[in-house]
Chains A and B, each alone.
Chain A
């Protein structure tokens, strides 16, 4: 089955609220995780990444949390805006950090209501 998956396939939030998108992974050897955003009709766009030796990493309005104990990854978006509406993918890397070793999740659709 999927080694990377998402708890919620869809998420609807109000503009200005914080959003949390979750991702579960099953491979304890995964050492690198990435979040991508995909807007309708476009290719995925890199948001933020985190290595397995970290628990938390912050970017501009986004935070990624990694809980290796329960193999869980989350993406938090602060003050969600309509432009954040998109599908969000998590991806994991097993074995050496090569771009050809990435496994992508199916994605969560985030809808931001004005």
Chain B
């Protein structure tokens, strides 16, 4: 299994541009989520999905959209990039949404810079 695959690894955007960060998992995991990681702060949850067709907002959802049309894929869309969205983005999945005996598996991240 490849696990959780994120593309691209690096991206530079200008303010106002839009883009989609891709996330795919091949473990048939029910739960998928997006986090951002900023210096001096813990991981913060952006959006999550407990199954195909179901998404919900996390702690910092503004400026981001998600969809979950298949079990495998969970893309994150930046509608109009802002410098405050400069961050490292991690996609994570788990077998179930319940945490017990179902730890999160993380991708290797996308480093996004917005100028």
Contacts and interface: CB of A to CB of B under 8 A. Distances in A.
Say if A and B assemble together: yes
B71 to A, nearest CB: 16
Interface of B: 4, 31, 33, 40-45, 48, 50, 56, 58, 90, 92, 94, 97-100, 102-109
Contacts, number: 68
A99 to B, nearest CB: 5
Interface of A: 2, 4, 32, 34, 41-46, 49, 51, 89, 91, 93, 97-107
A75 B102 CA distance: 20
B106 A97 contact: no
B33 A46 contact: no
12 contacts: A44-B104, A44-B106, A49-B103, A89-B43, A98-B99, A99-B99, A100-B45, A100-B56, A103-B42, A104-B44, A106-B41, A106-B42
